[in-house]
Amino acid sequence: MRVLNLLINGDRVEVAAPEHWTLLEVLRYELGLTGSKQGCDKGDCGACTVLLDGKPVLACLTLAALCEGRAVTTIEGLLPAHVKAGGTGPDPVQAAFDECGALQCGFCQPGMMLSARALLDRNACPTRAEIKDALAGNLCRCTGYTQIFEAVELAIARRIGIEPAPRAWEAQRMPADEAERRAREFAEARERQKEPR
């Protein structure tokens, strides 16, 4: 056992944990901060990503003992920090992920959003390629990443005050009239042949 002095989401906390425990174990098992996820426990998936002094690190590969006196930000810390800084509601990255449909199962997303947060903190207006690179350590199995990129770009557009680009599915979507016309055709076809032939 070892007593650790940590700075978690702005609070000084003192916890006792076994010597070999990782930051992820301390967060999840000692501090009840279960927002950081464990997808592999060996540095492959990125679900455990947290910010250490503002930089994304894999909490499952980081010994808790090495975090003494350093600032740790977990997903639970984003909303309170945003509110404290005068904002309302969730961090703009969190809000954009929610609005863009990026949160399917959501399991990869705490890590993903922290990687995105760190990117936006160091680069106010990254390109799509820079976003891809910054998120390459966070595996997502649900989304195919597109809605994640769109979410990050929405957060950027809002911050710099420009109109966000239409999301891929919107840009490609048939105009409503066309969809309704087709729909009516189908419905009429159904009326013509109530019983399948």
Partner 1 sequence: MAARDLHGIGAPWGDRSPGDPENRAFEVIGKPHRKVDGLAKATGRAQYTDDLVLPGMLHAKTLRSPHAHARIVAIDTTRAQALPGVHAVITGRDLPIQYGVIPWTQDENALAVDKVRFVGDAVAAVAAVDEDTANAALKLIRVEYEPLHAFLDPEESLARSEPRIHDDSKTGNVSKHVRLDFGDVETALASADVVLEGDYVFHGTTHAAIEPHCALAQWSAEGLLTVWSSTQITHYVQRALAKVLELPIHKIRVIQPALGGAFGGKSDPFSLEFCVAKLAMLTGRPVKMLYTREEVFYCHRGRHPMQLHYRTGASKDGKIAAVDAKILIDGGAYSSFGLVTTYYAGQLLTGPYHFPNYRFDSTRVFTNKPPCGPKRGHGSVQPRFAFEVQLDELAERIALDPIELRRRNFQGDFTRTVNGQRITSNGFLACLDEVERASGWRARRGKLGFGRGLGVAGSMSISGTNYPVYPNKMPQAGIQLAAERSGRVTVFTGGNDIGQGSNSVVAYVVAEELGMDVADVRVVAADTDLVPVDLGAYSSRVTFMVGNATIDAARKLRASIVLAIAKEWQVDAARVRMANGRVFDTESTERSITTAEAFQIAEAHCDTLGSTGSYNTPTLGGDYRGGTIGASPAYSFTAHVVEASVDVETGRITCHAVWIAHDCGRALNPMLVAGQMEGSAYMGIAEALLEEHGVNRFGLHAGPSLLDYRIPTSVDTPELAALIVESLDPEGPYGAKEAGEGPLHPSLPALSNAIFDAVGVRLRELPFTPAKVLRALAEKDARSAPVARGRA
Contact positions vs ligand FES (CB under 6 A): 38-41, 43-48, 58, 60, 104-109, 140-143
Q: Choose the contact partner of 58 out of partner 1, ligand FES, none; CB within 5 to 8 A by kind.
A: ligand FES
In the bound state with partner 1, the residue whose beta carbon lies nearer, of 15 and 106, is 106
Residues between 81 and 140 that touch partner 1 (CB under 8 A): 90, 94-95, 97-110, 113, 131-133, 135-140
Closest CB 141 distance from ligand FES, rounded Å: 4
* Tokens 């969190």 belong to residue: 94
Closest CB 169 distance from ligand FES, rounded Å: 17
Q: Choose the contact partner of 164 out of ligand FES, partner 1, none; CB within 5 to 8 A by kind.
A: none
Residue 164 binds partner 1 (CB under 8 A): no
Closest CB 102 distance from ligand FES, rounded Å: 7
Residue 73 binds partner 1 (CB under 8 A): no
